[in-house]
Amino acid sequence: MGGMSYVELAEAAHGQMGACKACPICDGRACKNHIPGPGAKGTGMVAIRNYEAWQSVMVHMDTIHEPFVPDTSVTLFDRQLSLPVMVGPLGDVNLHYGPKYTMDSYNDVMLRAAAGAGTLGWTGDGLAASLHEGACRAISGLDGCGICTIKPWSRDVVRDKLKLALAARPAAVAMDIDGAGLPFLKGQQPPAGTKGVSQLREIAKACHAADTPFVLKGIMTERGAEKALKAGADGIVVSNHGGRVQDGVEATATVLPEIARAVGEELIVLVDGGIRTGIDVFRALALGASAVLMCRPFVVAMYGGGERGVRDYLAQLRGELSNTMEMCGAETVADITDGMVSW
């Protein structure tokens, strides 16, 4: 039996997701600036820009090569993943998408589906302490098959949350360092804000003492990437939080090549924002990423088809990536180079 396509999953999810309209293409237009909800800040244009920037990257076809079965696997954080796509972090599913899932049931299903498909899910964080506690419990219950993301809270709160996270033995710990811009965190308790290199270095050190990689999510400039490197991070996610933290910023696809050129030898460079198909994954890899994260479409897949829905969507992405690799002459993910696209 074939699985459900993304369009079928979106149809099944329609009407159950609050401000999310479960569109057949998740391009940021319908949810625009609805926060709470899955929209973007201010005009809502940044999420749309993220999506459109990938569409302007053209892939170069070359089918004169011996036949091969493309290998979509990658090694990341010492783990072999079946495809270079991970499920991105989502904090507070109830606040943004309504009551169908609790954060715990969302995380349980999402992490299990990702692990079952041979990849990793990332968990999110929010004002209620229970969000992160539940995420750590779920990752621990899956033998560490997941990545915890902690918001840039005050030093004491980060210390406690980091302790919980490291005890779960996750594949990595991340901090969404751009979280300071989230409208629903402003003026709340615990406080969240920006962080300097020295405090980030302490966090990286604590992670390394527990043999756990540390990733900074929300890097949009070469300058930011150099500071992440100085702070001792092992990886970065080129991300603008799907447009939710600052209006008027560049698309992630636009800044990825220069950031990858600057730090790609020293840091694992990941990217997210508007990546929706296996072709988009190919584009991101060609522009310098080692793997991608996708967030909003996986919520739709889960609302439309539960654990099976997430796995079906991952299978669709893998198929699309594999087809594009065959059509462009890349037998392995390492063969996908910047010469295979133009923009």
Q: Which residues bind ligand FMN (CB under 6 A)?
A: 38, 50, 88-91, 96, 124-125, 149, 176, 217, 239, 241-242, 244, 272-275, 294-296
Asked if residue 84 lies in contact with residue 294, where contact means CB atoms within 8 angstroms, the answer is: no
d(CA 196, CA 96): 30
Q: With CA atoms as reference, report the closest residue to 157 among 141, 133, 178, 139.
A: 133
Helix axes 296-328, 103-116, angle to 10 degrees: 20
Asked if residue 85 lies in contact with residue 114, where contact means CB atoms within 8 angstroms, the answer is: no
Minimum CB separation from ligand FMN for residue 339, in Å?
26
Asked if residue 134 lies in contact with residue 104, where contact means CB atoms within 8 angstroms, the answer is: yes
Nearer to ligand FMN, 70 or 123 (CB): 123
d(CA 230, CA 216): 12
Minimum CB separation from ligand FMN for residue 18, in Å?
10
Minimum CB separation from ligand FMN for residue 167, in Å?
20
Minimum CB separation from ligand FMN for residue 171, in Å?
15
Q: With CA atoms as reference, report the closest residue to 271 among 249, 256, 254.
A: 256
Nearer to ligand FMN, 92 or 331 (CB): 92
Minimum CB separation from ligand FMN for residue 81, in Å?
17
Q: In 3-state terms, what secondary structure has residue 32?
A: coil
Strand pairing class (341-342; 58-59): antiparallel
Minimum CB separation from ligand FMN for residue 326, in Å?
25
Nearer to ligand FMN, 140 or 149 (CB): 149
d(CA 12, CA 180): 34
Minimum CB separation from ligand FMN for residue 329, in Å?
28
Nearer to ligand FMN, 117 or 330 (CB): 117
Q: What does the block give as tokens for 70? A: 């493309």
Asked if residue 173 lies in contact with residue 232, where contact means CB atoms within 8 angstroms, the answer is: no
Is the peptide bond between 213 and the residue preceding it cis, with omega within 30 degrees of 0? no
